[in-house]
Chains A and B, each alone.
Chain A
Amino acid sequence: MIKEEELDLLLNELFQRYGYDFTNYAKASLKRRVNRLLTIDRFTSFAELFYRIKNDPDYLTHLVEELTVNVTEMFRDPALFKTIREQVLPVLATHPFIRIWHAGCSTGEEVYSMAILLEEANLLHKSLLYATDINPSVIENIKKGLFPLSQMKQYSENYILSGGKKDFSSYYMTRYEWAKFDERFQSRMIVATHNLVSDRSFNEFQLIFCRNVLIYFDKELQDKVLTLFDNSLERLGFIVLGSKENLRFSEIAGSYAQMENKEKIWRKMR
């Protein structure tokens, strides 16, 4: 396990040299990421990694990608998506135009899940899905719409549990070991890098997803990011968090009401 001082040294260097601020990330998880990096890139010591960071700017993209967690799946927590189908989409349907933000969306599985939901509710044509992440490389995948074919069985099961009635395989073409999702979905997506730590609000949305991102932040940064979301959400809009995340103890809690069925969906009341 790397030492506290080494982690501080690393974070300081990343901020001073490259402007990436990880200082308010949760330490326990971040230490594991650095250790993992040492293993997968076969550094024999922290000093060796540190030297690489100082002297090889091209290493940065890979470093940030490995320090952040990029684990996601389509229709993860199917019951949540069922609630969105049944209780959130009917509200969104009343708007002439729908703007949705997937903050920290990684490789975009959630964005495609939502696009499918919107199409099935006949809302995709008047929706835009903003997909943002800190990693420029992982979001490239969203534009391609390619996902490992090996995952499709699991995603299909999730889709059905979320209330999906169609044949899930009708949404993609098989290309070797990849599932290529139809371009009508990509055409409704806007993909960009956005760092929740340092970048600002850039639009107003009716629905913001940020699932399993806040768990990697300390409470101070969580409050800052939730305030950013609050500033980016219309009144009566919705915020969706991860299944073990909570808005209850945050600074913005007073303005929000959680959906009744215990799903991690909050509505902005004022």
Chain B
Amino acid sequence: MAKNAITKYQYVVIGGSAGSLEIILKLIEKLPEQPKATFILVVHRKNDKDSILENLIANRTRLKVKEVEDKDPIQINAIYIAPPDYHLLIESEELFSLDSSEKVHYSRPSIDVTFESVAYMFGNSVIGILLSGANADGAAGLAQIKKSGGYTIVQNPSTAEVGFMPQQAINLIEVNNIVNADELAGLLEQLLTPQLS
């Protein structure tokens, strides 16, 4: 990693399916108070209209937590969640947008869709993380993040609850880092900390 006076990473986008929720909740608890980054979560789940995930996450952090509505602004030090039954896209550097088009990998929200959109708009300032899951969604998106100069992390498939999803990414690209769930918070803090060369 290049050692600049300021960190190059400003956007952390996390995708997961079966077996990823616990890991995300633990990670959220360990985030610094001012991570100086925007967090975007895409988690496969059943259509719950009561924003259960938003509450679960908000209870574990002082950062702003928001299930995204149409054209919501993108802010720093905030955690955004892809809403059920919509794909989450980046409309501009300042705005999200939503799309209720066809499912991708049987999923809406799809991890690929958001990863590709984030890679397109934010390029090398993106950290992409793909966690436990039983679906191939996310691998192509993570490849796009890598191609655009971002940093890619997958959960170790052999210790993940369901290793299929991270394994798909490993099969497709050379990811920057493969970690166990308990190593994730430390790695992320390191990547987000400004370092003097």
Binding site for B on A (CB under 8 A): 1, 26-29, 32-33, 36, 69, 71, 77, 79, 212, 214-216, 219, 222, 242-246
Q: What separation, in Å, do the CA atoms of A184 and B164 have in the docked complex?
A: 50
Q: A214-B70, A245-B70 are in contact. Are A1 and B120 (CB under 8 A)?
A: yes
Give, as a whole number of angstroms, the nearest-CB distance from A19 to chain B.
24
CB<8 Å pairs between A and B, sample of 12: A28-B97, A29-B99, A32-B101, A71-B101, A71-B102, A215-B98, A219-B71, A243-B83, A243-B85, A244-B98, A245-B70, A246-B70
* A245 x B69 contact (CB < 8 A): yes
- List A contacts of B57 (CB < 8 A): none
Q: Which residues of B contact A (CB under 8 A)?
A: 49, 68-71, 83, 85-86, 89-92, 97-102, 113, 116-117, 120
Most buried by A among B85, B86, B102, B116: B85
Contact B99 A69 (CB under 8 A): yes
A165 to B157: give the CA distance in the assembly, Å.
47
Partner of B70, one of A32, A33, A77, A215: A215
Chain B minimum-CB-distance residue to A76: B85
A28 touches B69 (CB 8 A): no
- Chain A contacts of B100 at CB under 8 A? 69, 71, 212, 215, 242
Q: Are B49 and A32 in contact (CB under 8 A)?
A: no
Question: Complex Cα distance A153/B134, Å?
Answer: 25
CB-CB under 8 A from B102, the residues of chain A are: 71
Residue of B nearest to A211 (CB): B100
Query: Given A69-B101, A79-B49, A216-B99, do A28 and B70 touch, yes or no (CB 8 Å)?
Result: no
Find the residue from B69, B71, B117, B120 having the highest chain A CB count within 10 A.
B71
Q: Within the complex, which residue of B85, B98, B101 is in contact with A33, where a contact is CB–CB below 8 Å? A: B101
